[in-house]
Structure 1
Amino acid sequence: MNSRPHSLRPHSPRPLSRRSVLRGAAGALISLPFLEALTSRSLVAAEPAGGTRPIRLLWLHSESGIWMPQWKPTTTGTNFALTPTLEPLAPYRSEISVLSGLFHANAFKRNAQAGRHVQDGMCHLTATDLGGTPGVAVKNGISVDQLAAETIGEKTRVPVLNLSIDRNATMSFSAGGTPVPVDWDPREIFSRLFADNSPDAKKLAEARYLQQRSVLDDVMETTRDLSTKLGTTDRQKLDEYLSTVREVERRATVTRTWADRPAVSAPEGTKPPGPPPDKDRTAYVRLLMDLMVLALQTDQTRLATLRLGFMGCMYPDIGCPDSYHNYTHHDFKADKQAAMAKVDQHRIAHLAYFLGKLKAVKEGEHDLLHHCVIHYGTGMGADHETTDLANLVIGRGGGALKPGQHLDCKGKPLADLYVRMMATAGMPIKVFADSSGALSGL
Structure 2
Amino acid sequence: MGTKSWQITRREMLRGSGVALALPLLNGMRWAKAAEGAEPPKRMVVSYISYGVYEPQGDKGSHHDWSWWPCKDPGPLTFNKTTAPFEPLRDYVSYLRGLDHAGGYALGGHSSCDVFATGANMAGDETSNNISVDQLAAKRNGHKTRYPSLVMGSEGGTGSYGQSRTLSHYGPGRPIPALHRPQDIFNRLFQPYAGKSVNQVRAGLKREASVLDLMRENSRSLHGRLGREDQRKLDEYLDSIRALEQRVERTSEWTHQPLPQVDAKGLNLEASYQDPVEYLRCMYDLLYLALRTDSTRYASFMLESEFSTSNEVGKFATRVLGYSGQTHDIAHKRPAESGLWDNWRAQQHAYFLDRLRNTPEGDGNMLDQTVVLWGSAHPHQSHSTKNYPLQIAGGNTLGFRHGALHAFEGDKKVPLANLFVSMLNAVDAPTERFADSTGPLTEVLG
**Structure 1 length normalisation: TM-score?**
0.79
Alpha-carbon distance in 2 for matches of 1:206, 1:418: 38
1:157 to 146, 150, 154: 146
Find out whether 1:180 has 2:176 as its counterpart. Answer: yes
Match of 1:392 in 2: 391
Contact 2:92 2:396 in 1 (8 A): no
Percentage identity across paired residues of the two chains: 30
Match of 1:130 in 2: 122
Task: Report which stretch shifted further, 96-105 or 86-95.
Answer: 86-95
1:376 to 368, 374, 377: 374
Match of 2:248 in 1: 252
Contact 1:289 1:354 in 2 (8 A): yes
Classify 1:197/1:174 alpha carbon distance in 2 versus 1 (closer, same or farther; 3 Å): closer
- 1:321 Cα deviation from its structure 2 partner: 3.7
What secondary structure is seen at the aligned counterpart in 2 of 1:52? coil
What secondary structure is seen at the aligned counterpart in 1 of 2:48? strand
Counterparts of 1:271-350 in structure 2, within 5 Å, are 273-311=268-306, 312=308, 313-314=314-315, 315-317=317-319, 318-330=321-333, 334-335=334-335, 338-350=336-348
Contact 1:176 1:243 in 2 (8 A): no
Alpha-carbon distance in 1 for matches of 2:231, 2:304: 34
> Which residue identity lines up with residue 7 of structure 2 in the other structure?
S
Classify 1:198/1:352 alpha carbon distance in 2 versus 1 (closer, same or farther; 3 Å): closer
Match of 1:407 in 2: 406
> Which residue identity lines up with residue 418 of structure 1 in the other structure?
F
Classify 1:215/1:143 alpha carbon distance in 2 versus 1 (closer, same or farther; 3 Å): same
- 1:82 Cα deviation from its structure 2 partner: 1.6
Contact 2:190 2:261 in 1 (8 A): yes
Contact 1:166 1:310 in 2 (8 A): yes
What secondary structure is seen at the aligned counterpart in 1 of 2:46? strand
- 1:269 Cα deviation from its structure 2 partner: 7.0
Alpha-carbon distance in 2 for matches of 1:209, 1:90: 49
Classify 1:116/1:98 alpha carbon distance in 2 versus 1 (closer, same or farther; 3 Å): closer
Alpha-carbon distance in 1 for matches of 2:394, 2:8: 18
Match of 1:360 in 2: 358
Task: Report which stretch shifted further, 316-325 or 163-172.
Answer: 316-325
Match of 1:190 in 2: 186
> Which residue identity lines up with residue 195 of structure 1 in the other structure?
Q
Contact 2:100 2:385 in 1 (8 A): no
Alpha-carbon distance in 2 for matches of 1:99, 1:239: 40
Ranges in structure 2 where 5+ consecutive residues have no aligned partner: 1-5, 10-30, 57-66, 158-164, 309-313
> Which residue identity lines up with residue 428 of structure 2 in the other structure?
G
What secondary structure is seen at the aligned counterpart in 1 of 2:397? helix
Counterparts of 1:227-242 in structure 2, within 5 Å, are none
Contact 1:380 1:389 in 2 (8 A): yes
Alpha-carbon distance in 1 for matches of 2:238, 2:347: 41
Match of 2:19 in 1: none
**Structure 2 length normalisation: TM-score?**
0.78
Alpha-carbon distance in 1 for matches of 2:417, 2:279: 30
1:146 to 127, 135, 144: 135
What secondary structure is seen at the aligned counterpart in 1 of 2:325? strand
Classify 1:340/1:430 alpha carbon distance in 2 versus 1 (closer, same or farther; 3 Å): same
Alpha-carbon distance in 2 for matches of 1:119, 1:393: 19
Once the two structures are superposed, residues 133-157 of structure 1 have per-residue CA deviations (whole angstroms, 9 ceiling, x without a partner) of: 3xx7x21111111101121111111
Find out whether 1:265 has 2:257 as its counterpart. Answer: no
Find out whether 1:90 has 2:96 as its counterpart. Answer: no
- 1:231 Cα deviation from its structure 2 partner: 9.1
Contact 1:320 1:343 in 2 (8 A): no
Classify 1:282/1:243 alpha carbon distance in 2 versus 1 (closer, same or farther; 3 Å): farther
- 1:421 Cα deviation from its structure 2 partner: 0.9
- 1:164 Cα deviation from its structure 2 partner: 1.0
What secondary structure is seen at the aligned counterpart in 2 of 1:82? coil
Alpha-carbon distance in 2 for matches of 1:235, 1:325: 43
Alpha-carbon distance in 2 for matches of 1:146, 1:86: 30
What secondary structure is seen at the aligned counterpart in 2 of 1:322? coil
1:351 to 319, 329, 349: 349
Alpha-carbon distance in 2 for matches of 1:251, 1:298: 20
Counterparts of 1:50-69 in structure 2, within 5 Å, are 51-69=38-56
- 1:182 Cα deviation from its structure 2 partner: 1.9
1:119 to 112, 116, 120: 112
Contact 2:318 2:326 in 1 (8 A): no
Match of 2:100 in 1: 103
Contact 1:176 1:240 in 2 (8 A): no
Alpha-carbon distance in 1 for matches of 2:426, 2:391: 16
> Which residue identity lines up with residue 379 of structure 1 in the other structure?
A
Ranges in structure 1 where 5+ consecutive residues have no aligned partner: 1-40
Classify 1:171/1:198 alpha carbon distance in 2 versus 1 (closer, same or farther; 3 Å): closer
Alpha-carbon distance in 2 for matches of 1:273, 1:195: 16
Contact 2:377 2:385 in 1 (8 A): no
